[in-house]
């Protein structure tokens, strides 16, 4: 008679070029996962404590280092929170520019997410190279706008650091049809691919009820069938002026999480196209004091590529925030992994983790 023993293995810590420095403690029965415990903290930098000793202008570059694949969106979240606390008005042109930039960064982030997910499943070269080729066009646009390629520090309380340089609007207009065409090509490689579907469909199923229970947001929540997007449900900036849909999934599996991000790229292109077409005249550069002395508290959340990013700020009249708390979407999205992978094989655990699209920089704050 054969005897079986539970085996505990360490999966990771992973190299930052995958999904960050993450260590999963897996309890196994053969190849089957009985339990999973994510261990975090390898990138912890005390960013929220650092904020208590920096002015809001000085703290802005730190937000770039949270979700470093969506730095523009992080900048925007802090700006909107301070503006809400201080009742600062933002010019219409600055609001439109913020939408354009935020949606471009969402596309760049999603391209990286779906291509590295495919790489996790064994598609080593082509999808990743295609996505990085297309993402590079967005990075070049950002380089023209602010001189940076990853950590941008472009948003400012009250507006942005500078208007669109000459010719950049034409670059964005050229990019929109290009990306639509290239996305069709990317989907030809993956969406209906028999091997890709076999590896991702019905794997890592996350029910709508479990997702809500764990506080999962963003594409991962929408892939489980819950149609919730802050750009529609709690509109900010000028999102209520644009016509776009909120893609959702049906089964809440890894394939649904992939296809929701693909469809969101198409919706972001629609938003950018409308925003460029209606871009108002005016000066988008911030015309406010560089020093803020807020008194009171507020919370503001935005729809980041990975879900709800929230900033909670308490001010006591000083130039530094008395307290600053960040609600990072990847933290909740990673927390649900244990519930998703029980009963899966180890190889399918890799699939489930990759489909969540976490960034450890915003988890280990």
Q: From start to end of 57-161, where are the E strands?
A: 155-156, 159-160
pTM of the entire predicted model: 0.95
DSSP 3-state of 342: coil
Residue pair 40/12 in contact by the 8 Å Cβ criterion: no
Residue pair 70/109 in contact by the 8 Å Cβ criterion: yes
Q: What is the pLDDT of residue 16?
A: 47
Q: Exposed, middle or buried by CB within 10 Å (0-12, 13-18, 19+), for 325?
A: middle
Task: Just give the CATH number of 39-363.
Answer: 1.10.645.10
The residue with tokens 């939408």 is 99
Q: Exposed, middle or buried by CB within 10 Å (0-12, 13-18, 19+), for 48?
A: middle
**In sequence order, what are the residues at sequence separation of 6 or more whose Cβ sits closer than 8 angstroms to the Cβ of residue 189?**
123, 126, 127, 130
- pLDDT tens for each residue of 286-296: 888 888 899 99
Q: Rounded to an integer, what distance in angstroms lies between the CA atom of residue 54 and that of residue 141? A: 30
C-alpha distances in angstroms, 33 versus 15, 89, 211? 22, 52, 20
Q: Which of 7, 13, 36 is nearest to 343 (CA)?
A: 36
Strand (E) or helix (H) holding 325? strand 323-327
- Quote the tokens at residue 231: 């750009």
Low-confidence ranges of the chain (pLDDT < 70): 1-4, 14-19
Q: Exposed, middle or buried by CB within 10 Å (0-12, 13-18, 19+), for 323?
A: middle
Q: What is the pLDDT of residue 17?
A: 45
C-alpha distances in angstroms, 352 versus 66, 98, 182, 349, 364? 22, 32, 26, 5, 20
Dihedral class, residue 356 (left if φ above 0, else alpha if ψ from -120 to 50, else beta):
alpha
Q: Rounded to an integer, what distance in angstroms lies between the CA atom of residue 73 and that of residue 102? A: 5
- pLDDT tens for each residue of 298-353: 999 999 999 999 999 999 999 999 999 999 999 999 999 999 999 999 889 999 99
């Amino acid at each position: 008679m054969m005897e079986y023993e539970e085996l505990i293995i360490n999966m990771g810590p992973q190299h930052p070029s995958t999904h960050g420095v993450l260590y999963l403690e897996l309890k196994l029965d053969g190849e089957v996962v009985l339990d999973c415990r994510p261990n975090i903290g390898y990138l912890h930098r005390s960013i929220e404590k650092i904020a208590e000793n920096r002015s809001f202008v000085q703290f802005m570059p730190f937000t770039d280092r949270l979700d470093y694949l969506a730095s523009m969106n992080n900048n925007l979240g802090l700006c909107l929170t301070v503006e809400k606390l201080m009742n600062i008005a933002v010019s219409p042109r600055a609001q439109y520019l913020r939408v354009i930039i935020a949606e471009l960064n969402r596309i760049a982030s999603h391209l990286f997410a779906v291509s590295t997910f495919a790489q996790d499943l064994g598609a080593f070269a082509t999808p990743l190279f295609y996505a990085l080729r297309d993402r590079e066009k967005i990075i070049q646009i950002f380089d023209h706008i602010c001189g940076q390629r990853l950590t941008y520090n472009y948003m400012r309380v009250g507006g942005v650091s500078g208007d669109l340089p000459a010719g950049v609007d034409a670059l964005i207009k050229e990019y929109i049809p290009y990306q639509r065409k290239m996305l069709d090509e990317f989907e030809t490689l993956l969406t209906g691919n028999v091997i890709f579907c076999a590896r991702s469909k019905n794997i890592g199923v996350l029910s709508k009820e479990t997702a809500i229970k764990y506080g999962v947001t963003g594409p991962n929540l929408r892939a489980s069938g819950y149609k919730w997007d802050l750009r529609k449900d709690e509109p900010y900036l000028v999102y209520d002026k644009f016509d776009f849909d909120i893609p959702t999934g049906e089964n809440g599996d890894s394939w649904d999480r992939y296809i929701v991000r693909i469809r969101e790229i198409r919706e972001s292109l629609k938003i950018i196209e409308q925003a460029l077409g209606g871009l108002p005249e005016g000066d988008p550069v911030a015309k406010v004091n560089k020093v803020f002395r807020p008194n009171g508290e507020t919370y503001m959340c935005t729809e980041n590529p990975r879900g709800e990013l929230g900033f909670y700020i308490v001010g006591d009249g000083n130039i530094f925030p008395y307290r600053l708390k960040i609600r990072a979407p990847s933290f909740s999205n990673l927390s649900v992994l244990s519930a998703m992978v029980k009963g899966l094989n180890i190889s399918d655990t890799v699939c489930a983790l990759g489909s969540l699209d976490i960034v450890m920089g915003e988890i280990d704050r």
